[in-house]
Every structure is written in C-alpha cells, then in structure tokens.
Amino acid sequence: MKSINKTLKSVSLLGTLLFSGSFLQSVHAEALPSAGLMPLIDTHIHYSHDAVYSTPPKKAIEILREAGLQKAFVSSSSDKGTQLLYAEAPDLIVPVLRPYRKRGETSTWLHDETVPAMLEELLANNTYAGIGEFHVYGKDANLPVIRRTVELASEYGIFLHLHGDSDAVEYVFEQDKDARILWAHSGFDNPEDVAVMLEKYPNLTADLAFRTSHAYRGKVDEDWRKLFLAYPDRIMIGTDTYTPERWYYVVDHAEWSRTWLADLPTDVAEQIGYKNAQNLAAWALK
C-alpha cells in the first residue's frame, strides 16, 4: 500500500511539474504545494510566545505546508518563535525581526531605548530579511528608536515591515529614500490612497493582511482591481496570525486568497500570490 501511495505521489508531482510551466522551476521541490494549488507566499505571520506554546513548531510548519505556502515571512514577539520555526524549516521560513520582546508592545516599543541594542545583537547573530512588523504612526516615525531601526535596515540591506499610516511611511522615506518598506495591511487605506503612495515611492510594497474589502465571494472589487493591475509587482498577501488561534486561519486564508486571485489575470495573480514576495526575500537574503 505504501508503495502505491508513493507512486501516486510521484505521478502527482510529475504532473504538477509538467503542467505548471516555468513558474515552478525556481521553487524548491520540498516547498511545492499540493498538486493543482497555486503556490503562495504569506508575508504576514507572527509566531509569538503564546503561539509557540499552543502550536509547537512541528505543528506550525505542518499548518504552513498544508496551506500550500512556498514561503512564510515570520516575525515574533519575542524573536525566539521565529528562530524555532526557522530551525525547523529553513526552506519555508523567511525570518523577519520583530522589535518586541512580547506581544502588547505595539505602542511602547518606540519609546524603549533598549530596543536598538537588542536589534543590533540579534541582527549580528542571526539571518533576517527584514525588521518588523512594527507599529508607528505619524511623527512618531521620527523618534530615535525608529531612526535607528531604519538605519539598521539600511546597514543590513533588509526591508522594514511597517504597520502605520501614510505619514509614518513618508517620514521613514525622508530618513532614507532608499529604504525598502513593506506596508502592513496597505495602511488600512483605500485603494486610491494606496496607489498614490505606491506611485510616489518606488521602494514601497504593500501587504493585504487582514483586508477583505478587495474581494467578495471570489470577485475582485473594481477599485482594487485597478490598483492590482497598475502595480502588479508591488502587492503581496498575508494572514496576520496575531493571536495563537489565528494560526489555524492560515489554511482558510490561503484558500480564500486563491479564490480571489483566480479572478485576476494569471500573471498578476502569480505576482501578488508569491512572486513579489519571492523577489523581496531574494533581495534581502542575498
């Protein structure tokens, strides 16, 4: 029986490789999603201390693979969670450094002068594709802790995963016009305003985590469609596992994402679904 299953799996894998065309060629074989599923990269995963407890690393990786993810950008409070997952599945995890020691520091971290030293130490000892997701709004983006964070991202050639308003994004670009920013939740802005920001800042990309307004029952909203077609190389998807239970949403979210992505031209869907994130990770993890 085992050998039959193995044969079936091999046939299925061969079919996937033959019929999926060139876009899968660059993907590691071990990261292939189930046959027929479009690969996805989820750019907004957290694996914080309480999630580690409720969903141990092996189970967490199992969930990510079940969702058919090619990669997952993971940041955690504390960073220990990210390191545990990265050790478990380096092919799957794109480590991102969150400047929080525990959840709940979203509004206090930027006033904590010990944060830069913590970031420096972790950056010196580990591999990261970015710093974030961190929360900052308006002029707070000019506080010393944020300024040093922006400098560190520049020094290490990695991106900033910024959760905040457009003002904060603009202040960071004022500090470093060459910064690469992944704008969490697309700033919770409407597509017209996101377009303005993407037009103004070529190094700005945006994730769609926790957004639903762009798709309803598998159909892409017209205003969002315009944005996706105008900036197909700048948008990415993400779940945002901000509580331990949300880890179990990753599979549903991937399924939902594939549904609305199918309503876009294939090349645009592939860019938003995984290629843009693949490029961002490749740029950062050179």
Residue 281 contacts by C-beta under 8 Å, 6 or more apart in sequence?
A: 41, 71, 73, 94, 129
Is 148 one of the binding residues for another protein (CB under 8 A)? no
Take residue 264 and report the two structure tokens written for it. 């876009």
- Distance separating alpha carbons of residues 159 and 110, to the nearest angstrom: 18
Site residues (CB under 8 A) for another protein, limited to 250-279 = 252-253, 256
Site residues (CB under 8 A) for another protein, limited to 176-235 = 185, 188, 210-212, 216
In the bound state with another protein, the residue whose beta carbon lies nearer, of 185 and 225, is 185
- DSSP result, 59-109: HHHHHHHHTTEEEEEEE-SSTHHHHHHHHH-TTTEEEEE-S-SSTT-TTTG
In the bound state with another protein, the residue whose beta carbon lies nearer, of 54 and 266, is 54
Q: Given the rule CB under 8 A, which of 37-45, 126-134, 244-252, 260-268 is the region that contacts another protein? A: 244-252
| 109 exposure class (CB count in 10 Å sphere: 0-12, 13-18, 19+) | buried
In the bound state with another protein, the residue whose beta carbon lies nearer, of 23 and 242, is 242
Minimum CB separation from another protein for residue 203, in Å? Answer: 24
Minimum CB separation from another protein for residue 46, in Å? Answer: 10
Site string for another protein, 30-49 (x = CB under 8 A): --------------------
Take residue 6 and report the two structure tokens written for it. 């193995």
Q: Which of 88, 142, 189, 249 binds another protein (CB under 8 A)?
A: 249
Is 23 one of the binding residues for another protein (CB under 8 A)? no
In the bound state with another protein, the residue whose beta carbon lies nearer, of 23 and 249, is 249
Is 54 one of the binding residues for another protein (CB under 8 A)? yes
Is 246 one of the binding residues for another protein (CB under 8 A)? yes
Minimum CB separation from another protein for residue 218, in Å? Answer: 11
Q: Given the rule CB under 8 A, which of 6-14, 96-104, 221-229, 274-282 is the region that contacts another protein? A: 96-104
Quick count: other Cβ atoms within 10 Å of Cβ 65?
A: 19
- Distance separating alpha carbons of residues 40 and 113, to the nearest angstrom: 37
Residue 185 contacts by C-beta under 8 Å, 6 or more apart in sequence?
A: 163, 207, 208, 209, 210, 211, 240
- Dihedral-angle region of residue 188 (phi above 0 means left; psi in -120 to 50 means alpha; beta otherwise): left
Q: In Å, what is the CA distance from 236 to each residue of 207, 208, 257, 266, 280?
A: 5, 6, 11, 15, 10
Minimum CB separation from another protein for residue 164, in Å? Answer: 10
Q: Which of 65, 71, 103, 214 binds another protein (CB under 8 A)?
A: 103
DSSP β-ladder status, 219-220 and 215-216: antiparallel
Is 245 one of the binding residues for another protein (CB under 8 A)? yes
Verify cis geometry, omega within 30 degrees of 0, for the bond prior to 78.
Answer: yes
Residues near another protein (CB under 8 A): 54, 102-104, 185, 188, 210-212, 216, 240, 242-246, 248-249, 252-253, 256
